[in-house]
Structure 1
Amino acid sequence: MPKPDAVTYHRAGDLRRSLTPPEARLWICLKNGGLAGLKFRRQRPEGPYILDFYCVAAKLAVEVDGAVHDQPDQIEHDRRRTAWLARQGIEVIRFQALSIRDNLDGVLVAIREAAEARLRR
């Protein structure tokens, strides 16, 4: 897998220090193995991309999508990004930011189930 460059590492650090409110809410539940003992990293650089949350053991990326992800250019970018990550063996699951606000428990169940399914492979 291609290594992230220095700019990507720097951007990831900046993003870790400025999580959006939905990202921060989800991180509280994921950090320190808080979800079924699964270890997640936040704002993890992978190749040219930065993953919102990443479970290394399951090779599972969790993305929190705000309204910008509904724009045609961003939809296409996300499609290319997901395809590139899939070629690296990383599965991406996406959640709307509003889902984290309105249905956090359901989001956590979906993340746990996806991670556990990948770990069983």
Structure 2
Amino acid sequence: MTHIYNKTSEKSKRQQLRNNMPPAERIVWAKIRGQQIEDCKFRRQYSIDAFVVDFYTPELKLAIEIDGESHYQDGIPEYDYERQAFLESKGTKVVRFTNQEIYQDLDGVLERIRQVICELRGITPP
């Protein structure tokens, strides 16, 4: 099997993204780090092949993406679609949220993440 996770070639890209997280990502990271949701360990700025996802849990192959303003520029939605199709072809489930969702309904976003974790583990959420 080819090594596609956290490739050394993507290390500087991951570090740069971690050091320059947008505000919406910082908010989510503060709520999911340290196994705060369903005792699930997330990593931030995790690479899968040449793509870096915002948050990832290897246990469940779950990626969480936060779509900021840059995701609505010309050509980016198509790129995101192709990128997500590649990630899903490698067995990764991708859940996307917008900055607006983070700012306006953080509790709802966190609840959705919790639900997806439970679904992937095959358990009924409490």
Greater RCO (CA < 8 Å, at least 6 residues apart): 1
CA distance in 2, matches of 1:18, 1:2: 26
Cross-structure match for 2:70: 68
TM-score relative to the length of structure 2: 0.89
Structure 1: tracts of 5 or more residues without a match? none
Cross-structure match for 1:92: 94
Cross-structure match for 1:21: 23
Size of the aligned set, in residue pairs, is 121
Structure 2: tracts of 5 or more residues without a match? none
Q: What RMSD over aligned residues (CA atoms) do the two structures have, in Å?
A: 1.5
Task: Measure how far apart 1:55 and its partner are.
Answer: 1.4
Query: Is 1:107 paired with 2:109?
Result: yes
Task: Measure how far apart 1:68 and its partner are.
Answer: 1.8
Cross-structure match for 2:60: 58
Cross-structure match for 1:10: 12
The amino acid of 1:111's aligned partner reads I
Report Cα offsets for 1:61-105 as digits up to 9, x if no partner.
Answer: 000001221234100110011000011000111000111111100
Residues 58 and 116, structure 1, Cα contact 8 Å, conserved in 2: no
Report the identity percentage. 31
Residues 38 and 117, structure 2, Cα contact 8 Å, conserved in 1: no
CA distance in 2, matches of 1:53, 1:70: 20
TM-score relative to the length of structure 1: 0.92
